[in-house]
A and B are shown apart, each in its own frame.
Chain A
Amino acid sequence: MDIAKIFRSDIHLKIIKFFHENQASIDTPRGVATWIGGERAKVKNALEDLVKADILVAHRATSTTGYSYTSDDKLISKIAKLLKKTKPA
């Protein structure tokens, strides 16, 4: 999934915005679903898509998986530019 395509999906965009605004955050699918007001199952799938696109990092443990934002500053700058172009929610 390329970044431009990801930005066309509402749920993916909401997740990216959340992590871009809270770059130090690490949260579970349930936590992220709460912050962005999304359905847990859909959020979980979207989180995995974003891991594949290297936008998020998955910290997998036996009981849960924590997701956090990328540390790649070039990618972060690219996302910041794309977020500026998107219309505010």
Chain B
Amino acid sequence: MEEIKTNGGNTQYQRELFARLKKSISLKREEECIGCIIQPSAWWIIEKANPRIPDLKKVISCDCPNYKGPSSARNANCVKMVFGIIQKVRETKALTKFDCIYSLHGFIYPIIQGDKIYGYIGACYKKKDIAPQILDIFAAFTDTIVREVQKELELSKLYETVRPRAIALSTVHTVHRLISSTLDLSELIPRIARLSLQIMRANRCSIKLVDSKRKILLPKATVDLRKKTVTLKKVKIGRHAPGKAFKYGRPIRGRDYLAVPLIDEDTIGVITVYDKIDRKPFTQFDQEIMSTMAEQAVIAIKNAQLYKEQERLTMGSIKSLAKVLDTRAPGTYVPRASFLKIALAMGQEMHLDAENMKSLEYAAILHDAGEIVIPYKLLTKPSKLTGKEYEIVKSHPMAGVEIIKHMKALKSVMPIILYHHENYDGSGYPKGLKKEQIPIGARIMGVVSAFEAMITKRPYRTVRKISDAIEEIRKNSGTQFDPKVVHVFLSVINRKDVQQALEKELYGHS
């Protein structure tokens, strides 16, 4: 427990203890109860273990009804006498009775915690013969009250100590939840910057990540509460606070800045906060809090970087697979970029969440991956397919699922690939699903895939004009296609940017 020595010899803790003791309702009740029996002229309390004569004068002048003023010789003798009794109580640590010069009687009882005396309670009264049991009850009661007040004070101190720490811990926990909930680096890094500003109560925060080849720190996010726009600045390793924090792998603190390195196995960057709102300097405590923040931030950034890398690998694999598929149908050109644009624009218009958008993106490239199992001569057959041949063609969605099922990252893509040939009226394949039974991604892909088939060169069919293909989609709304999806398709396909992209990819001009 913190103990601050005061001029009077008592600690801050003892002063607070006495303040509470004086206000204690239990002590007032004790005065009333014991007072009924002994009829005191005065109760007094001295807040010092080793009081001096002036301290006693002050107490007695306040409480003694017989006190005649500071110049009175009798009063001086009274004070001296009480002083002598207190010296005795200090040694015996027990309740001690006395007779005063005004023919009053009294007692002094020490206020004790452990072995130490912190003060004294005294009473002066007229009635001489008080049963010793009464004084024993007084002593026991007083001890209980002192202990009660001590416990109250300790609880209060504990509350004052624990509460801010618990609130800080709760903040750390909330920050952890907030930064762990996204794997999108472009969203994560500004969020870390804003949270750092909040925790530090600072005006500006900048997060820089290292470009190890160029030995430079690249700015990824800067938030300044005082400016609407900010300039992102590169920093050389070893220069300025961020560069030094990176170079030495430890926080660099100045009056108006605090740079903390983001260290995982290696140092990956630096968070720097500048200019506290209250204009006070950054402290050691701020440094500790920011270091904790940086430890959490680096994990979140690393996770997001790994996720991005995994996404890149997945996309790379998908694109490679799509290239292989393209080589199986020579003379066929699929404008994949335009179809991807159409599919994603439709997904956005239909308010798909981020995960469904990603699945739609992968499916847009891979939806006909299963065609790899269809014999080459069937794919290039210029005449109409026989019933048996058509059955083979119809197996391609399932074959597509078989190809990608070992890639866990593509699990959510499988239903889109499997059901993209299902029709809204239940006449499609492989399961004959109807309406909302067909996943939304597959309904979108059904429209995009049919549009793609109509305007792409195929050995068995002449290429249709874009306008004819759009009309065909419109005609089949409600039968082959979901009318809501067709509505969105029509709005997307009529967009100028989509038309231009499609024409450029198909005909080499827009």
Contact = CB atoms under 8 A, between A and B. Distances in A.
A24 interface: yes
Contacts of B199: 24, 26
A30 B209 CA distance: 34
A61 B177 contact: yes
Given A71-B197, A71-B201, A64 B177 contact: yes
Given A66-B175, A71-B203, A73-B278, 19 more contacts: A22-B164, A23-B201, A24-B171, A24-B200, A24-B201, A26-B171, A26-B174, A26-B178, A26-B195, A27-B170, A35-B167, A59-B191, A59-B195, A61-B178, A62-B181, A62-B182, A63-B177, A64-B177, A71-B225
B160 to A, nearest CB: 12
A27 B174 contact: yes
Interface of B: 164, 167-168, 170-171, 173-175, 177-178, 181-182, 191, 194-195, 197-201, 203, 225, 277-278, 289
Interface of A: 22-28, 31, 35, 57, 59, 61-64, 66, 68-69, 71, 73
B174 A66 contact: yes
A31 B198 contact: no
B178 A59 contact: yes
Contacts of A24: 168, 171, 198-201, 289
A64 B170 CA distance: 14
A22 B178 contact: no
B181 to A, nearest CB: 4
A16 B170 CA distance: 17
5 contacts: A26-B175, A59-B198, A61-B182, A61-B191, A68-B198
Nearest to B163: A35
Given A26-B199, A59-B191, A64 B167 contact: no
A63 B198 contact: no
Nearest to A62: B181
Residue of B168, B198, B199, B203 with highest tally of chain A CB at under 10 A: B198
